[in-house]
Amino acid sequence: MDMGLSGKVALVTGGSDGIGKGTATSLCAEGAKVVICARRIEVLESAAEEIRAATGGEVTPVSADVTKQEDVDSLFDAIAEKYGRLDILVNNAGTSAAGLFESVSDDVWRYDLELKLFGAIRCSNKAIPMMKAQGGGRIVNITTPGGKAPTAGSVPTSVSRAAGIALTKEMSKDYAADNILVNTVCIGLIKAGQHERRWETAREHNPDLTLDAFYEDMGKRVPVGRVGEAREAGDLVTFLVSERASYVTGVAVNIDGGTSPVV
């Protein structure tokens, strides 16, 4: 199936690892030219090399912190200078932060919202005028099923992700007439660097624990019996930004192996 993405220009924030890297790989495999951003340039450059080797595609790493407006401005200036357009924005930058309500400090609340919600707002504000000027575009905000159905001990992430889901629906209404389609993918347990860091911590108490065994144990909590692959999430995002999804906007799609209690 031709996704109609050849020659399109995409930006994936948080593109150096996990879901962002998987998404960039999927987009490159379909012929898109992809800019990936994150804070650490050395990790970005390594990811870009891996994506090029896997797909033969065009990948440009740009260091940027989406919590800083000046970084976002510089990022979009670089995109405009290199390509003169932007067809796809994937707002993926984020971390997992979860605790009981009374345990979460104001600083943690502020940073989580700055990164996940305001990061998406900043990038979207820069992308939308470019997309309007060229007759359309696609935006995907990465959120979680916890934004629909929070569990105990899930703040601030569940709140910032709920805001991201609401933002998606609102933007989809504002920009449908401009042919800018906005959707969100709600990510469940997917292999990523944050889980590998938890595995490394677990190995301090159990040095014989392998990463495969760690993921196998995590997968017991998932109805389909396994943790998802980053590329599986990337393939879903790629479909949503493709010409094959030209009648899809304002939706929140779970990719969680059936874990979420809500649709």
pLDDT tens column, 24-73: 999 999 999 999 999 999 999 999 999 999 999 999 999 999 999 999 99
Tell me: pLDDT of 1 over 90.
no
Neighbour count for residue 158 (Cβ, 10 Å): 22
Tell me: pLDDT of 194 over 90.
no
Q: How confident is the prediction for the chain on average, in pLDDT?
A: 97
pTM for this entry: 0.97
Averaged pLDDT for residues 232-245: 98
Report the top-level CATH class of 9-190+229-255.
Answer: alpha beta
pLDDT tens column, 131-151: 999 999 999 999 999 999 999
Q: What is the pLDDT of residue 57?
A: 97
Q: Where are the domains of the chain?
A: 9-190+229-255, 191-227
CA distances from residue 118 to 20, 54, 62, 67, 184 in whole angstroms, order as listed: 18, 32, 19, 7, 15
Tell me: pLDDT of 190 over 90.
yes
pLDDT band at 23 (very low <50, low <70, confident <90, very high): very high
User: Which residues fall within 8 angstroms of residue 82, CB to CB, at 6 or more apart?
Assistant: 35, 60
Find out whether 23 and 190 touch, Cβ atoms under 8 Å.
no
Question: Is 261 exposed, middle or buried, given 0-12, 13-18 or 19+ CB atoms closer than 10 A?
Answer: exposed
Q: What is the pLDDT of residue 38?
A: 97
Q: Tokens standing for 140?
A: 């995907």
Task: Identify which of 11, 72, 19, 21 has the alpha carbon closest to the alpha carbon of residue 187.
Answer: 19
Q: Tokens standing for 158?
A: 């569940």
pLDDT band at 122 (very low <50, low <70, confident <90, very high): very high
Find out whether 31 and 109 touch, Cβ atoms under 8 Å.
no
